[in-house]
A and B are shown apart, each in its own frame.
Chain A
Amino acid sequence: MEIIKEVKISNYKGLEDIQFPCGSINIIVGPNNTGKSSILESILMSISSLNSFEDALEIELSDILDLDDVNIKYFILQGKKKSTVEVEIFDNNIITLDILYEERGYPQEVASDFLNFINRASTQSTLDSIYHRDPRKRVRSPIYDLSREIRFLESTLEKEESRNIDSKKEEIKRMLKLMSERLESAIEEYRNELIKSEKLFLVSKLNHNLIAMHVTMDEYIGEIPVLFEKSSYNIPLIISSPKINYDISTLYKKLVNTKKLQDVLEILKNRIPYFEDIREVNGEMVVLLGDRTESLPLSFMGDGLKALLKLSFMAPLVKNGIVLFDEPEASMHLGYLNILAKEILLNSSDTQFFISTHSLELLNKILESADKSDKLESVRILRLRRLSDGFIERETLSGGEAKEEIESIETDLRGF
């Protein structure tokens, strides 16, 4: 399935200018630091912007982008202030994601939406919660201190209630006035700080119509939704990345809820001879193996089987959607890679895959399986290479071209 037809990325991280057409199965290869993961991130951001920047498992962007640990200015290519990801999807629709960086303040093009948001947050008392997303800031927050003082005052009042409160009236009034002034000044301070701080805006448009705007600030955790217009499209998307540790039981439950578990288990049982079943018993995931009479906890299984289960559970969850696999080969033996390749092929008729890999075996297995199922032309390979001045150059090959090169001259498609 080809949901995304073409991707164009400019000035995102190390990618200055790159564009490529897409197939049902897109395999991204290249040496380290050529931008494979950055391409997956770009796709994730632009497609998930239709769904308030969350994937199908409610994984937030900040969990994948390391927003907490990296200075936000590095998301834009050095010396630039704006990065753009343009994704052409089905029916000639175009999602344009602009990533705008401002060291102080905000870019003119987002001014009105951003200031409206700040004003709204100031009056709706949500400013503090925005500020408090970083636990380190919470400790220093003047509003937090004030709320502690108010709680202290309330408890004092409760104690005093039995006695004569009139004598304390003036003192209480004076304290409340003082607090109110401090609160207003704290809110003003917050407003100013939010306005002046270093920021990264994610502005998404569908066919030039604004659909989402999120902002993240240096030293703040996560991104703040400034604006979100419900779009008519919601493309299910899921990402597997070494940065995210998905809980298999969560995926399992989702599969049970969507009634797709049996299909996946049947495929796994057919392909792994000793695998019988996986189920949840008393809140614990257990695995039944053919050569054992008792089930074993999933945690006892090898990392390869866990990885295979995780990836096999993911794809069916996003039917008519997009799956992003960042280096799925980790911990997997060749046999499991073969199973994974077949799973990818099987699901590719109603799911689009973007896979970054260093594994020649996985690449070859996917090509082999595609060839056997007469689906070679649905595979596209995106090869990345770094030129001497740091520019990332790309090459695209169809599955047929790739297979022919491997057979005729034994090219290593990953490049060196």
Chain B
Amino acid sequence: MNVIICEGKNDACFLNEIMKERFNLRMHTIYYHELEKLQEMLGTNCYNFVKTKYPLIIYGDGGKANIIIALRRIVVETLGKNNDELYIILIRDDDGAPYEVLNTNLCIELQSLLRDRSKFIVHIPNIECNDDFFILTHPRSRGILKIKLKTVPSNLEKQIAKKTMEFKGLTDSKILEQLDNDPHKALELLANKYYSGDENRLIRESSILLKDETWVNEINRLVN
């Protein structure tokens, strides 16, 4: 089963649109601030049913600050629970940082989590890095947790705003100025201009413009 954990509601909305063609109704997206829903879907009682019904779950709206907290919770909650391969793709904005740095930080974060005695004390889970994937296993289970970091160049809002402006041939200096300073604001201004303030619609409709971008193709390729 594939789980995409992304930074926010906008990301979840965008990825939902991108994956729609492949997964259609066999995909479940959690847009809002509710990790408990994801926990329930990955819990022992629902797991097999959910896996068959939804091979892909997209979880967003943890917010940039909370994406690692959410990942930690899901790792602790699911590692070793099912004899299955759970594949987590963590999608985050690179905000100008090199991928290697972000990936190393993730590796350190995961290692420290697995060695946290408040989480695991008797049996310490294993972590190995293979082909850019982190593979986590628990000594008392045959289940595997695969984690892969994928970054969005700069940030998603900027990508959408930039592409929309290109497509519309827009050279509004006010929006252009916000593109680097506050991409969320740029997105808001564009939504106001073209979609009566409906940001959601702007994101969905612009996804088609971005679907041939290398980073989008890579995300698509990563989902099994």
Could you list which residues of chain A lie within 8 angstroms of chain B, going by C-beta atoms? 17-19, 31, 385-389, 391, 393-397, 405, 408-412, 415-416
The docked-state distance in angstroms from the alpha carbon of A394 to that of B123 is: 11
Additional A-B contacts beyond A385-B77, A388-B81, A405-B69 (12; CB < 8 A) = A17-B122, A386-B81, A387-B80, A391-B141, A393-B123, A408-B69, A409-B33, A409-B73, A410-B33, A410-B36, A411-B36, A416-B77
Contact B76–A410 (Cβ < 8 Å): no
Contact B40–A388 (Cβ < 8 Å): no
Residues of B contacting A410 with CB < 8 Å? 33-36
8 Å CB interface, B47-100 against A:
62-63, 65-66, 69-70, 73, 76-77, 80-83
Q: Main secondary structure on chain B at its contact with chain A? A: loop
The docked-state distance in angstroms from the alpha carbon of A18 to that of B117 is: 12
**Given contact pairs A395-B119, A411-B39, A389 touches B33 in the complex (Cβ within 8 A):** no
Contact A388–B143 (Cβ < 8 Å): yes
- B interface residues, how many (CB within 8 angstroms): 35
Contact A388–B141 (Cβ < 8 Å): yes
Contact A18–B122 (Cβ < 8 Å): yes
Q: Kindly report which residue of chain B lies nearest to residue A21, judged by CB atoms.
A: B118
Q: Kindly report which residue of chain B lies nearest to residue A18, judged by CB atoms.
A: B122
Contact B73–A393 (Cβ < 8 Å): no
Q: Kindly report which residue of chain A lies nearest to residue B77, judged by CB atoms.
A: A415
Could you list which residues of chain B lie within 8 angstroms of chain A, going by C-beta atoms? 33-36, 39-40, 42-46, 62-63, 65-66, 69-70, 73, 76-77, 80-83, 118-123, 138, 140-143
Contact B43–A415 (Cβ < 8 Å): yes
A-B contact pairs, 19 of them (CB 8 A): A31-B43, A385-B81, A387-B141, A388-B80, A388-B81, A389-B140, A389-B141, A395-B76, A395-B119, A396-B118, A405-B73, A408-B62, A408-B69, A409-B35, A409-B70, A410-B36, A415-B77, A416-B39, A416-B44
The 7 closest A-B CB pairs, nearest first, are A416-B43, A412-B36, A391-B140, A387-B80, A409-B35, A388-B141, A388-B83
The docked-state distance in angstroms from the alpha carbon of A409 to that of B63 is: 9
The docked-state distance in angstroms from the alpha carbon of A405 to that of B77 is: 13
Residues of A contacting B76 with CB < 8 Å? 395
The docked-state distance in angstroms from the alpha carbon of A62 to that of B85 is: 44
Among A17, A391, A408, A412, the residue within 8 A (CB) of B65 is A408
The docked-state distance in angstroms from the alpha carbon of A98 to that of B36 is: 39
Q: Kindly report which residue of chain A lies nearest to residue B40, judged by CB atoms.
A: A416
Least Cβ distance of A47 to chain B in Å? 23
Contact A388–B142 (Cβ < 8 Å): yes
Least Cβ distance of B59 to chain A in Å? 10
The docked-state distance in angstroms from the alpha carbon of A22 to that of B171 is: 62
Among B42, B62, B63, B140, the residue within 8 A (CB) of A387 is B140
The docked-state distance in angstroms from the alpha carbon of A389 to that of B79 is: 12
Least Cβ distance of A94 to chain B in Å? 18
**Given contact pairs A386-B81, A405-B73, A409-B66, A391 touches B123 in the complex (Cβ within 8 A):** yes
The docked-state distance in angstroms from the alpha carbon of A405 to that of B70 is: 9
Residues of B contacting A405 with CB < 8 Å? 69, 73
Residues of A contacting B81 with CB < 8 Å? 385-388
Most chain B beta carbons < 10 A, residue from A17, A385, A410: A410
The docked-state distance in angstroms from the alpha carbon of A76 to that of B35 is: 37
Residues of B contacting A385 with CB < 8 Å? 77, 81
Residues of B contacting A387 with CB < 8 Å? 80-81, 138, 140-141
The docked-state distance in angstroms from the alpha carbon of A150 to that of B155 is: 96
**Given contact pairs A18-B122, A388-B80, A416-B43, A411 touches B73 in the complex (Cβ within 8 A):** yes
Least Cβ distance of A17 to chain B in Å? 5
Residues of A contacting B123 with CB < 8 Å? 391, 393
**Given contact pairs A409-B33, A410-B34, A394 touches B121 in the complex (Cβ within 8 A):** yes
Residues of B contacting A411 with CB < 8 Å? 35-36, 39, 73
Q: Kindly report which residue of chain B lies nearest to residue A385, judged by CB atoms.
A: B81
The docked-state distance in angstroms from the alpha carbon of A220 to that of B83 is: 41
Q: Kindly report which residue of chain A lies nearest to residue B59, judged by CB atoms.
A: A409
Residues of B contacting A415 with CB < 8 Å? 39, 43, 77
Residues of B contacting A412 with CB < 8 Å? 35-36, 39-40
Residues of A contacting B119 with CB < 8 Å? 395
Least Cβ distance of B148 to chain A in Å? 21
Q: Kindly report which residue of chain A lies nearest to residue B46, judged by CB atoms.
A: A416
The docked-state distance in angstroms from the alpha carbon of A396 to that of B119 is: 6
Least Cβ distance of A416 to chain B in Å? 2
The docked-state distance in angstroms from the alpha carbon of A118 to that of B96 is: 79
Residues of A contacting B138 with CB < 8 Å? 387, 393
Contact A409–B69 (Cβ < 8 Å): yes
Contact A31–B44 (Cβ < 8 Å): yes
